[in-house]
């Protein structure tokens, strides 16, 4: 469950039509709709005087919502004492069986907000699925399913199953045949089971759309609507989304029945826990800068975000040659390997993970202390999700963003999004790298000296070897110690003596570019005709069209997955017989085009080019 501490500084607004509050319900929660959530750092909750429970006797903030003693015990056993704002608002509505639309960011406790009421209202001894949860990615589907299992108070009776592509289809069929209560899945795999008749729809009483805007961004919205059209008419529906674009609003109006609406507005407290910096750098020097940062930073776990699969592989190969324990997470990695990779990162066998945005979606590893944005995300939401992989559960973290000269204008957008400045960071020079290497070596020696060795016999053998070597070579104690250290660290030099002139040149160029940008921005502020959104887009041509049966959602999904762009950042799409035109943000790096050319849509390569180059 998402913890409460990091979300205390939030506000909550609830739109609850009064005509629907006259429904009868168990007396245990009949008064919970009288809650008033105050906008204060403490997120105090006051209750109507007629509440049916006594606050003075409360052991848990989860009491009073109608949860069974079994479920309350399990919540307490997991160490959770107080519900988050979105949970306080959602519990009463969902326990009443109402439809609900919730707008909340990742990390606000939304999974528990819908999972706990659903678990409480499950019927026992039902062989057919009662609840279906749709999630945009395999990682998020697995995470939500694990949360359901964690919260469940009747582990042997409540069966939870995650279904997603990349996993064995027959294994999922066998599990469905044995009977499950809750199915959590990605849209594509859920559609496969429905078409095969292996997912029985008749018993579904509740559907949850988790991260609906992400499904829209990835081009799944048509698949989602297809699934919704297969469901029984009488069912509860819950929709959660970080943002509410017009397409999601339209979907909620079409499929939800008089829903309660909840909005949680975070006050950026989580972002403030993360120290955010940027480095102004050209693409040609990125890998060198990354190596220097990893030499100096002492974080236990690191995630390096890159835009494309090819870049993740290139980074990982470069870091492995430096002796780093690295793993890759991108769309080409099989599901079983992805799961092993995350587990290795969690237990410390891997310290650096190089990942794309989509592959890292839903990743939750406590030991991540540093996030490096090797490539600038085109969307501010993607940036927030990236840096949110560190600073989890109220802890501090660090985030570093690589910014090329053509991407400088995105900085201001990101700063507005996170509500704080992103300070410039200087690339570590040779002296800083050497200082860090010496400090790390000293720390290793201190640790080894303090730990010693477990077996006395081995200690005697080592001491005997040292004595014999000292006598044979006539060495003093200092010379012998240096020989032992050299043996331990190998032949690699301790000190970095490489050319560092490019560091100063990059810094000076950034200063000149910064002064130039300030002059340009000053002139723009005096211009009475500010740049429109259309002026920030550039037209591209892709070699797929009507003859290939391509749809706008296919193009949006392919480009969004490869570049990390949100759907709303993609402009007009025109599909012709043999090709299509699509408007994308200006300033996309050339290496992105090279990768996009090879992306296949409807089994055909995009072959993207600027429209005016044809």
Q: Which residue has the tokens 């045949």?
A: 177
From the list 104, 70, 69, the residue with the least C-alpha distance to 87 is 104
Q: Say which range, 2-11, 62-71, 106-115, has the weakest mean pLDDT.
A: 2-11
Top pLDDT among 143 and 473 is at 473
pTM score: 0.52
**CA-to-CA dists, residue 352 to 276, 348, 527, angstroms:** 19, 10, 46
What per-residue string of b and e applies to 295-321 under the rule 16 or more CB within 10 Å gives b?
beeebebbbbbbbbbbbbeebbebbee
What per-residue string of b and e applies to 143-166 under the rule 16 or more CB within 10 Å gives b?
bbbebbebbbbeeeebbbbbbbee
CATH number of 270-429: 3.40.50.300
Tens of pLDDT, residues 435-463: 888 888 888 888 888 887 888 888 889 88
How many angstroms separate the CA atoms of 243 and 379, rounded?
13
Q: What's the whole-number average pLDDT of the chain?
A: 78
Domain spans in the chain, listed from the N-terminal domain onward: 5-267, 270-429, 432-478, 534-613
5-267 and 270-429 share one fold: yes
The whole-number pLDDT of residue 362 equals 63
Residue 581, SS3 per DSSP = strand
How many angstroms separate the CA atoms of 495 and 466, rounded?
27
Residue 245: pLDDT above 50? yes
| pLDDT tier, 507 (very low <50, low <70, confident <90, very high otherwise) | low
5-267 homologous superfamily = P-loop containing nucleotide triphosphate hydrolases (3.40.50.300)
Torsion of CA 222, 223, 224, 227, to 10 degrees: 120
How many angstroms separate the CA atoms of 130 and 152, rounded?
15
How many angstroms separate the CA atoms of 223 and 10, rounded?
33
Tens of pLDDT, residues 559-570: 877 666 666 678
Give the residue-averaged pLDDT of 468-481.
88
534-613 classified as CATH 3.30.70.330: yes
Residue 288: pLDDT above 70? yes
Quick one: tokens of 247?
């397409």
Residues contacting residue 372 through CB under 8 Å, at least 6 positions apart: 290, 293, 302, 303, 304, 305, 399, 400, 402
Residue 44: pLDDT above 50? no
């Amino acid at each position: 469950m998402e913890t409460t501490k990091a979300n205390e500084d939030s506000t909550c607004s609830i739109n609850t039509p009064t005509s629907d509050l006259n429904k009868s319900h168990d007396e245990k929660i009949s008064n919970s709709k009288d809650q008033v959530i105050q906008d204060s750092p403490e997120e105090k909750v006051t209750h109507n005087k007629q509440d049916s429970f006594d606050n003075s006797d409360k052991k848990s903030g989860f009491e009073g919502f109608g949860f069974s003693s079994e479920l309350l015990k399990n919540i307490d056993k997991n160490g959770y004492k107080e519900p988050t704002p979105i949970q306080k608002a959602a519990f009463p509505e969902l326990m009443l069986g109402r439809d609900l639309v919730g707008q909340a960011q990742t990390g606000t406790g939304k999974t528990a907000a819908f999972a706990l009421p659903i678990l409480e209202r499950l019927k026992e001894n039902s062989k057919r699925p009662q609840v279906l949860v749709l999630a945009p990615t395999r990682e998020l589907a697995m995470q939500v399913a694990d949360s359901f299992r964690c919260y469940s108070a009747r582990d042997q009776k409540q069966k939870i199953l995650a279904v997603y592509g990349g996993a064995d289809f027959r294994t999922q069929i066998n599990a469905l045949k044995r009977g499950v209560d809750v199915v959590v899945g990605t849209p594509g795999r859920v559609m496969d089971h429905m078409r095969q008749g292996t997912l029985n729809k008749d018993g579904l009483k509740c559907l949850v759309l988790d991260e609906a805007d992400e499904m829209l961004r990835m081009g799944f919205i048509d698949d989602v609507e297809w699934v919704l059209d297969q469901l029984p008419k009488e069912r509860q529906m819950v929709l959660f989304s970080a943002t509410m674009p017009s397409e999601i609003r339209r979907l909620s109006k079409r499929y939800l029945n008089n829903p309660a609406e909840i909005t949680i507005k975070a006050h950026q407290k989580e972002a403030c826990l993360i120290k955010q910096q940027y480095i102004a750098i050209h693409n040609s020097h990125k890998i060198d800068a990354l190596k220097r940062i990893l030499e100096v930073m002492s974080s236990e776990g690191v995630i390096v975000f890159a835009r494309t699969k090819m870049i993740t592989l290139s980074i990982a190969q470069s870091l492995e040659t430096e002796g780093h324990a690295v793993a890759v997470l991108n769309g080409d990695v099989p599901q079983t390997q992805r799961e092993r990779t995350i587990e290795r990162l969690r237990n410390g066998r891997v310290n650096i993970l190089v990942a794309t945005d989509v592959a890292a979606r839903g990743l939750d590893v406590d030991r991540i202390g540093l996030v490096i944005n090797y490539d600038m995300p085109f969307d501010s939401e993607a940036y927030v999700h990236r840096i949110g992989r560190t600073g989890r559960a109220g802890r501090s973290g660090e985030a570093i963003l690589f910014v090329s000269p053509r991407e400088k204008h995105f900085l201001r957008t990101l700063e507005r999004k996170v509500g704080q400045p992103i300070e410039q960071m200087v690339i570590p020079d040779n002296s800083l790298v050497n200082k860090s290497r010496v400090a790390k070596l000293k720390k290793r020696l201190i640790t080894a000296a303090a730990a010693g060795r477990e077996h006395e016999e081995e200690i005697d053998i080592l001491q005997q070897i040292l004595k014999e070597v000292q006598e044979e070579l006539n060495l003093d104690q200092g010379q012998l110690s240096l020989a032992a250290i050299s043996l331990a660290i190998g032949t690699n030099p301790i000190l970095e003596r490489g050319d560092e002139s490019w560091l100063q040149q990059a810094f000076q160029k950034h200063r000149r570019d910064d002064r130039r940008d300030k002059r340009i921005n000053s002139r723009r502020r005096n211009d009475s005709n500010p740049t429109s959104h259309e002026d920030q887009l550039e037209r591209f041509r892709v070699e797929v069209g009507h003859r290939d049966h391509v749809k706008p959602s296919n193009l949006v999904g392919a480009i969004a997955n490869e570049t990390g762009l949100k759907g709303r950042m993609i402009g007009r799409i025109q599909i012709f017989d043999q090709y299509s035109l699509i408007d994308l943000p200006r300033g996309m790096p050339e290496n992105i085009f090279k990768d996009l050319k090879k992306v296949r849509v409807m089994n055909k390569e995009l072959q993207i080019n600027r429209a005016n180059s044809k």
